[in-house]
Amino acid sequence: MLKVAFQGEKGAFGHAAVNAVFPNDEALPCVTFENTIAAVQNGDADYAMVPVENSLYGRITDIHHILPESGLKIIGEHYHRVNMCLLGIKGTALDEVEEVQSLSVALGQCRKFIRDHNLNAINAVDTAGSAREVAEHNDKRRAAIASKLAGEIYGLDLLAEDIEDEDHNTTRFLVMSREMADVEANTPDIKTTFVFRVRNVPAALYKAMGGFATNGVNMTKLESYMVDGNFTATQFYADIEGHPDDLSVRFAMEELEFFTDYINILGVYPSKKS
């Protein structure tokens, strides 16, 4: 049985994502993203499953800084639909609930439901932890917004489900390993993720990107972020379609090298549909 690390308590949406991809393996909860990565680095876990972006809130900033320095490689991705549930102690009716607690982001995603049911919102550290605390508090007047999995783990009743305001709330997770995935060139539906820094010369980024256009390589993501608080040391995170050994990708990457002083391929892996 494999061990797959995730950030959060048991019942977190990261835990649900692990169960979706590794249904027969053990999910290992970790307090922080750093702990999650470290679990794989030191051999306590075989893989880590980390969120990189959400359809409502954009990129998960911490991960973009952690991954390039982690030494781990991306071997897969998973798009996890986030369904918010209202959870209460056993025997609770919805009209008995007066207050609801959860992570501030989760509360923000359920504003309409909270307003329509005249509930007092309480900010908490996370979703799964809120479910655990509601179970411990054992008061029908208080409920939690969390995953259905959290309700099952902590013995709570499902009072309402799919209560989020938007029906496209999806988080993209990456599966991280100590070793690069064994993927052959010219395999269909392959994605390559890498980070790079352009040299500090005029039009360097424009010229660096030109190789992908002229070689017909589709770049599906390009994001920038600062390195060590230095305004002149911007690092870019990119996803492209194709394998580094595909002829078109190889030519594009060779052109990229002319205008960069750092390139780090984080992973080559099968692409999934969102």
Residue 138's CATH number: 3.40.190.10
Q: How confident is the model at residue 13 (pLDDT cuts 50, 70, 90)?
A: very high
> Does 173 qualify as catalytic in the annotation?
yes
Residue range 59-95, pLDDT digits in tens? 887 787 889 889 999 999 999 999 999 999 999 999 9
Give the pLDDT mean for 234-258. 94
Which of 177, 211, 234 terminates a domain? The answer is 177
Considering the domain architecture, whether residues 71 and 91 belong to the same structural domain is answered as no
Give the active site residue among 13, 33, 173, 212.
173
Q: Look at residue 191 in the predicted model and tell me its pLDDT.
A: 97
Domain contains 182: no
Give the pLDDT mean for 114-127. 94
CA angle 212, 213, 218 (to 5 degrees): 70
Considering the domain architecture, whether residues 67 and 95 belong to the same structural domain is answered as no
Name the pTM for this structure: 0.89
Give the active site residue among 171, 192, 194, 196.
171
Which of 121, 148, 177 terminates a domain? The answer is 177
User: Can you point out the beta strands (E) in the chain?
Assistant: 3-7, 26-30, 47-54, 58-59, 73-81, 85-88, 99-103, 120-124, 142-146, 157-161, 170-177, 190-198, 219-227, 230-241, 260-270
Q: Give the single-character DSSP code of 56.
A: T
Domain contains 201: yes
Give the pLDDT mean for 40-62. 90
Residue range 23-35, pLDDT digits in tens? 999 999 999 999 9
Residue range 154-190, pLDDT digits in tens? 999 999 999 999 888 899 999 999 999 999 998 899 9
Handedness of CA 155, 161, 163, 166 (dihedral sign): positive
Q: Rounded to whole angstroms, how far apart are CA atoms 99 and 16?
A: 25
Domain contains 183: no
Q: Is the pLDDT of residue 113 over 90?
A: yes
From the list 105, 258, 269, 101, the residue with the least C-alpha distance to 183 is 269
Q: Look at residue 62 in the predicted model and tell me its pLDDT.
A: 74
The mean predicted confidence, pLDDT, of the chain is: 93
Per the structure, the complete domain to which residue 201 belongs is given by 190-270
Considering the domain architecture, whether residues 32 and 157 belong to the same structural domain is answered as no
Count the domains in the chain.
3
- Inter-CA distances, 128 with 115, 125, 254, Å: 22, 9, 46
Considering the domain architecture, whether residues 53 and 173 belong to the same structural domain is answered as yes
Considering the domain architecture, whether residues 58 and 73 belong to the same structural domain is answered as yes
